[in-house]
Chain A
Amino acid sequence: MTPGPLPSALVAQATNPIIEWEWVVEEWDQIWRAIVEHVTLTMMAMALGLIVSAFLAALALRRRWTMTPITATTSLIYTLPSVALFALLAPVFGNLSRWTAVLPLAGYTLLILVTNIVAGFQAVPPSVRDAADGMGMSRARRIWTVDLPLAVPFIVTGVRIATVSTVGMVTVAAIIGQGGLGRLIFSGLRRAFWTPMTVGASLSIILALVIDAMILAIGLWLAPWQRRRKGATP
């Protein structure tokens, strides 16, 4: 996940401050565009990752034997070095296409998302399913109104982990000309000019934290029963 070979930046360290606020003000448009691009790439990757994961998880839950190959494949994708993957896809889709960045980014989310979705559905207590079936609930109704809501906390956890790592991974996509805040970081490094690098790095950290908090809040809103627990009177 770390960017490629460092230029002779270290030499210049002494001569140039970590951040020049003038630059930030002057280049705010560029910074803002990088933020928007960063968020867009993250959201596209997550959306695609969620859709594919939902299918894979549904398959794994229905046909148990598919679980092993699905896990093996998504694990394999997860282990591929991101720089290599971006580099390999660049000639396929072209440097300028967003898909060159989005596809690998989405691929990296699959392992975490599939695992968590499957775990969420498997964590639905058998007695709850038995009661739902015993009351004459149809299978589809049970999956949408009982299993899915109960799996939400697990799914949200998976989405949080996947999103945060995607925010980090997007910066690497800068090597193929995408990458939002990553481009600021890389250009700063190349020019041995610290300010864009500092801005890009800190903004990507802040972005990760903010998005994580937002998903956490959405998760709590989706699962209100998780908020209050055990106020039982005997």
Chain B
Amino acid sequence: MLDETAPTDISIRLTNVSKTFDGASGAAVDNLSLDIERGTIMALLGPSGCGKTTTLRMINRLTEPTAGTIEINGVDVMSQSAQELRRGIGYVIQQVGLFPHRTIASNIATVPTMLGWEKSRIAARVEELTTLVGLDQELLDRYPDELSGGQQQRVGVARALAADPPVLLMDEPFGAVDPIVRKRLQDELLDLQNKVSKTIVLVTHDVDEALRVADRIALMNVGGVIEQLASPDELMRAPANDFVKSFVGQDRGLRRLALNAVSALRYHQGPVVDGGATYDDAEQVIAMEGTDWLGITIDGRFAGWTKVNDVRAAHANGSPLADVERFDPIAQIEPTSTLRAAMELIMSSNSSVAVINDGGSFGGVVTLEDIRRALSSAHIETADGTL
């Protein structure tokens, strides 16, 4: 996530932009300024009628601003013809808007065809994009009506990326598909973004979608007023005002959990010792952690939990620590799991701790208290600074 102090490389800059539609009483967007950093995803989030779509459409001039300037890579969008401008900007909409009378291949090739690319180059690009967005090559000869909603939306994205534009505008791109497909498409968008690093402006009214995919969120209110511009975590942690609080909902804490991975915590060992440790060492750990359970690792792997009573009995018998009866840990997580997943696992396994399984070896433990503390701190502490 972004650091406020890092040097920025602005791709899209809106300066004092306003739009008043003919016959409307108030401005749809009033004096909006916004910088969007190159290679990042900016979500314009807000209730319907807040001007987020108008803002998006002013960037490619489907709506002409009444006042203010919009620059892409330092060039005023008004300085070139609208058609030329739009051919250099990918555009994806909720209803996809595929051309029903053209095959999938021909749909994807729309902009390259307009730009006069050679046939062989277009064919190669279409094939490349098909792979990139995860579509089957055999769909290329079909018509849009023969595809599912999710497939159509992938075609929409491929078509928008066809001429490799540096900027991609997405207007509620996943609004028309069911929640399961939507989540998959959101994941695919993030994968795609890792490969193509576009500057993406995404309009949505779905808080979860913004939190999942955006690097920065501009939460907008009626009139295109930006109530808060922040990273997803910051928006959840420190909502700027009551509007933000009510829009993002009561479960901000839980949503923050979903935004951060277990790896964001500073791991600690917990009541865990190596199977080869002495009983004195074990007693020391038990005393320090104050628990009834002691974890045993063997060869760096977590081997299971033992009951403290069993440990002491074994000590009295003189049998080795490694032979004490062990119970498999139910709650095991990966460092890449979200804190939310960790919490759910801890709760559902009816224990108070989850064991971090870091590629097979013991990474540490996570307790509910760790998670609670992470959320209450201003920044979630990590080994390498703050998020």
Contact = CB atoms under 8 A, between A and B. Distances in A.
Interface string B276-296: 000000000000000000000
B104 to A, nearest CB: 11
Given A225-B145, A232-B146, A232-B148, A135 B86 contact: yes
B87 A136 contact: yes
A228 B100 CA distance: 11
B163 to A, nearest CB: 9
B110 A135 contact: yes
B99 interface: yes
A231 B146 contact: yes
B97 A131 contact: yes
Interface string A136-172: 1110010000100110000000000000000000000
Contact of A134 (B62, B99, B101, B102): B62
Interface string B92-108: 01111111111000000
Nearest to A139: B83
A230 B62 contact: no
A149 B102 CA distance: 10
Given A125-B97, A136-B111, A150-B100, A131 B150 contact: no
Nearest to A138: B83
B191 interface: no
Contacts of B146: 228-232
B357 interface: no
Interface residues of B, number: 35
A136 B93 contact: no
B96 A127 contact: yes
Contacts of B148: 232-234
B130 interface: no
Contact of A130 (B85, B88, B97): B97
Size category of the binding interface on chain A: 20 to 34
A130 B53 CA distance: 13
A234 B149 CA distance: 8
Contacts of B238: none
A231 B104 CA distance: 14
B142 interface: yes
A149 B101 CA distance: 7
A70 B149 CA distance: 40
A133 interface: yes
Contacts of B114: 135-137, 141
Contacts of B85: 136
A138 to B, nearest CB: 6
B263 interface: no
B60 interface: yes
Nearest to A128: B97
24 contacts: A125-B97, A130-B62, A131-B98, A133-B86, A134-B62, A135-B87, A135-B114, A136-B83, A136-B86, A137-B110, A141-B114, A146-B99, A150-B99, A150-B100, A228-B146, A229-B143, A230-B146, A231-B142, A232-B145, A232-B147, A232-B148, A232-B151, A233-B151, A234-B148
Interface of A: 125, 127-138, 141, 146, 149-150, 223, 225, 228-234
Shortest 10 CB-CB contacts between residues of A and residues of B: A131-B97, A136-B86, A127-B95, A134-B91, A136-B87, A127-B97, A225-B143, A136-B83, A231-B146, A149-B101
